[in-house]
Amino acid sequence: MMAIATAVGLSAHSGARNEWVVDCPASELAPRLRRLVEELTLVDLFATTAKGSRPRLTAVLDAPGDPAWLVVHCDLPEAAFPSLSAVSHAASWYERDILEMHKVMPQGHPAPYPLRQGKSGEPGPKRAGGAAGAGDDSGQRPKQRPAVTGQGVFELPLGPVRSGPQESQGFSFFSGGEDIVVTDITLGFKFRSVERIAEGRAPADVILLAERIAASSCFANALAFSRAVERVIGAEVTPSEQFTRTLLAELERAYNHLGVIGRLAEATGLQVAAAQFSLMRERALRASGRLTGHRYLRGALRIGGTEVVPPEGDRVWLRSEVEAWRSQALRLRHLLEGTSTFVDRLDTTAYLDPGYAAEHNLVGPVGRASGIDSDLRRDHPYGAYSAVEFVVPLLSLGDAKARYTVHVMELEQTLGVLLQLLDRWPHAQPPAPLPKLRSGSALGWAEAPGGATVHLVTLDEGGRVARWRARPPAVVNWHPFAHACASGNNLTDFPVIEASFGLASAEFDR
Amino acid sequence: MSRWILRGLRSGIRTTRFPSPTPPYEEGASSTVRLQWQRLSAPDALAAAQMCPSGAIQAQGTEVEGELTYDAGRCIMCGRCARHLPQVFLPVKDGRVAVRQRSSLVTRVGWSAANRPLPLELGRAAEEVRQRAVRIFRHSLHIRHVDAGSCNGCESELQMLTGPYADLHRLGIFFTPTPRHADVLLVTGVVTVNMERPLMETYAAMPEPKLVIAAGVCAVSGGSFAGGPVTRGPVDRLLPVDVHIPGCPPTPQAMLHGLLLAMNRAEDRPGPEPEEVADGA
């Protein structure tokens, strides 16, 4: 990582452990950052603005096989920067987000349309204030995405209020009757500005906000946030608390994988199968409730450890539960894969080719079903993951069937990890006193059920959160959704497509 | 297909008997926190208000004399008060937590050096309950759900309602895709600026008579996002709310209780015991 930065002509200094930080002069941003984005994997790109100060662009980069991260900061002299979208498709949505929320123009962006829907069709909500020097940019950028036209093409809108108890989100299907020609996603309906609400608060309270980014990645986001704070202050977590964190993170993966598979069964009309997975999911949620007092593991984490460590009685009980889930999951998998109405609906549906997935740096089961071999638990180990064995399922077929298979294989791996953790549980040690909170900045990360979640946290002198950027997996994985919808699918395939991606709107609209 | 039917039959009946009081509440997690006001002391009250991250517990006054307010409608169930002051704040598994009036979620207790803690307001349902719940909903209820800006926790629990454990169909309750067929608007999440219009249009499209349920603390009070820069606030700022369901998210039983309350088939959340200290649920 260091070598690449030097080769590009930037001198990196070390931040927290396994983290290199580079300050890039604005005049050299275009050639240097473009080269880094070409050589490395772009994990996150965002701007920070404050009233009266210059906007700052930050990129987080990762290299395969290197446990270190690279964070590039650049103070921009004006509210604009050269777009990276020409070299990396992954940068496209980040740059549109930067333009929309901070009025910082990615110069040369091929399609700088608003990402979010605002009230009455205007572009989405803005950050109050905006960058210094950001004037009225209405002349610079288009307000609306281009219309889709053609003989017999009509638009079928869906949402934001959906048919069942689902999240608010808008979709527009352009179709000539059956085939989906183009899909347009409208995000931003539920944008709550979580990161901004956190500013000025104590990290212990921001953990609770991180849990409320999305219930589907509740524990993973809280874990990533608290690990970032721990890396700033140098806190150590005792082995039994590391095991508890890993156990709860895997429990969260288990009930989310069960949810995705259950929704797939429902989307293909298999009511009994959906009910069976719902039963299993409820059991996993109740187990979470028994261990932590909360069905979605909220309030279980604290900076420097966990609020609860399951006593031996609970661990013995959980072990027998997980054994039961494992044999039940195997039986149901066998039944599902022997049901032709299930397999036929998934086969070749919503194909996402590995090339596209690689260009967009997709994460999680969506990426792993299209040949992206990444998993933070293995690539950037944390918690107790080095104490257990697991494999990261990898397929390259890229259709809904492949995504289902990755989910079902990951569920089996997760249950295996839970058993290993329970068998190798360390003796409890008294927690070390927490170091005093101080100023600094560090990355924190965790593998959420939907993929990598990466947080960059900056604390001020008083130890309060000055800036917090969360990048949950759905921020990346919503991008290919529209593309996958339109690749030869019918309107009736949509429930299967949506279920197979298993994306949370709340993670994007945080 | 027959193998699925056999598989389903082999699972037996797993459905909870809620709202029947037996068997005990088996969900494992707690649905709310009950204030054992009789055991409240001035230092505990001031400490609890300090540690509460959501503003659900607020205290005014000094060691000598003061007043504590616990608002279950703002409580995000982080568990801090229950961990540090278990003698006063008791997590309860009882799913009957919904109320008809927002004020019923609030408990106020006063203290002074000379006297025992004094209940000022015990969060019981007020006498003049607004009788908008209409008799015709007693048998069957169709729900139109709107996510006005949630974290998807409430949606996750609503999806569990149609599963075999809660099985809300046995109670005559159904989700409906169209507001035209809906009797009740169930809102989750704090109302964001961008969801205000879809929410109001959905409400307007529903035929009279209609009810509104605010599910989860975000919908009841704004929860963690109260006062955020892009939120309009709790649902009752925009619509007349008939039933408030606290919880973050409400457990499936709490959701069921709120729905039954809207149908006039259940009673309000039991308030704190007026005299004796409960042993817990």
Assign B250 a pLDDT band (cuts: 50, 70, 90).
very high
Residue B279 burial (10 A CB sphere; 0-12, 13-18, 19+): exposed
Whether residue A456 is predicted with pLDDT greater than 90 in this model: the reply is yes
Cα dist from A239 to A234, A291, A400, whole Å: 16, 18, 39
Does B192 sit within 8 Å of A190, measured CB to CB? yes
Q: Does residue B25 contact residue B280 with C-beta atoms inside 8 Å? A: no
Partner A contacted by B164 (CB < 8 A): yes
Partner A contacted by B30 (CB < 8 A): yes
Note the pLDDT of residue B131: 53
Assign A223 a pLDDT band (cuts: 50, 70, 90).
very high
Which chain B residues have a beta carbon less than 8 Å from that of A339? Answer: 1, 4
Neighbours of A412 (CB within 10 A): 17
Note the pLDDT of residue A101: 84
Residue type, A423: D
Which chain A residues have a beta carbon less than 8 Å from that of B230? Answer: 125, 191-193
Q: Which of A119, A122, A190 to mutate to test the interface with B (most CBs of B within 10 A)?
A: A190
Whether residue A129 is predicted with pLDDT greater than 50 in this model: the reply is no
Q: How far is A487 from chain B (nearest CA, A)?
A: 28
Which chain B residues have a beta carbon less than 8 Å from that of A188? Answer: 194
- Pick A161's closest partner by Cβ from B30, B194, B198: B198
Assign B274 a pLDDT band (cuts: 50, 70, 90).
low
Does B163 sit within 8 Å of A270, measured CB to CB? no
Distance CA A505, CA A474 (A): 7
Q: How far is B116 from chain A (nearest CA, A)?
A: 31
Note the pLDDT of residue A232: 92
User: Do the bridges between strand B57-61 and strand B65-71 make them parallel or antiparallel, or are there none, so unpaired?
Assistant: antiparallel
Q: What pLDDT digit, counting tens, does each position of A183-222 carry? A: 888 888 888 889 888 988 999 999 999 999 999 999 999 9
Note the pLDDT of residue A133: 39
Q: Which of B57, B77, B81, B152 to mutate to test the interface with A (most CBs of A within 10 A)?
A: B152
Whether residue A109 is predicted with pLDDT greater than 70 in this model: the reply is yes
Note the pLDDT of residue A39: 85
Residue A26 burial (10 A CB sphere; 0-12, 13-18, 19+): middle
Calculate the average pLDDT of chain A: 87
pTM score, two decimals? 0.91
Note the pLDDT of residue A226: 95
Note the pLDDT of residue A483: 86
Bond into A393 cis (ω within 30): no
Q: What pLDDT digit, counting tens, does each position of A10-50 carry? A: 777 777 788 888 888 888 888 888 888 888 889 999 988 87
Note the pLDDT of residue A126: 40
Q: What pLDDT digit, counting tens, does each position of A372-426 carry? A: 999 999 999 998 999 999 999 999 998 999 999 999 999 999 999 999 999 999 9
Does B249 sit within 8 Å of A215, measured CB to CB? yes
More confident residue, B220 or A51: B220
- Pick A286's closest partner by Cβ from B27, B83, B150: B27
Does B77 sit within 8 Å of A168, measured CB to CB? no
Does B146 sit within 8 Å of A286, measured CB to CB? no
State the number of CA atoms in the 13 A half-sphere of A69 facing the CB: 25
Does A506 sit within 8 Å of B29, measured CB to CB? no
| Closest to A126 measured CA to CA, from A100, A93, A106 | A100
- Pick B228's closest partner by Cβ from A193, A290, A504: A193
Q: What pLDDT digit, counting tens, does each position of B175-219 carry? A: 999 999 999 999 999 999 889 989 999 999 999 888 999 999 999
- Pick A160's closest partner by Cβ from B7, B83, B195: B195
Partner A contacted by B280 (CB < 8 A): no
Does A168 sit within 8 Å of B11, measured CB to CB? no
Note the pLDDT of residue A163: 85
Q: Indicate the range of B93-107, B109-123, B204-218 predicted with least confidence.
A: B109-123
Q: What pLDDT digit, counting tens, does each position of A40-51 carry? A: 889 999 988 877
Counting one residue from chain A and one from chain B, the pairs whose CB atoms sit within 8 A come to 195
Which chain B residues have a beta carbon less than 8 Å from that of A213? Answer: 151
Note the pLDDT of residue A451: 92
- Which residues numbered 97-136 in B keep a CB inside 8 Å of some CB on A? none
Whether residue B38 is predicted with pLDDT greater than 90 in this model: the reply is no
Residue of chain B nearest A295, judged by CA positions? B29
More confident residue, A96 or A248: A248
Phi, psi angle pair for A405, to nearest 5°:
-65, -40
Does A294 sit within 8 Å of B156, measured CB to CB? no
Residue of chain A nearest B33, judged by CA positions? A293
Whether residue A366 is predicted with pLDDT greater than 50 in this model: the reply is yes
Residue B253: enclosing H or E segment and its boundaries? helix B252-262
What is the value of ipTM here, to two decimals? 0.89
Calculate the average pLDDT of chain B: 83
Residue of chain A nearest B218, judged by CA positions? A212
- Pick A279's closest partner by Cβ from B145, B159, B164: B164
Q: How far is A472 from chain B (nearest CA, A)?
A: 13
Q: What pLDDT digit, counting tens, does each position of A144-177 carry? A: 666 778 888 888 888 788 888 889 988 888 888 8
Q: What pLDDT digit, counting tens, does each position of B130-151 carry? A: 455 556 788 889 999 999 999 9
Residue A442: enclosing H or E segment and its boundaries? strand A440-448
Q: What is the DSSP string of A76-142?
A: -SSSEEE--TTT-TTHHHHHHHHHHHH--EEET-S----SBB-GGGSB----SS--TT----TTTS-
- Pick A272's closest partner by Cβ from B8, B190, B192: B8
Residue of chain A nearest B53, judged by CA positions? A205
- Tokens 């123009």 — which residue? A105
Neighbours of B275 (CB within 10 A): 6
Q: What's the mean pLDDT in B79-89?
A: 87
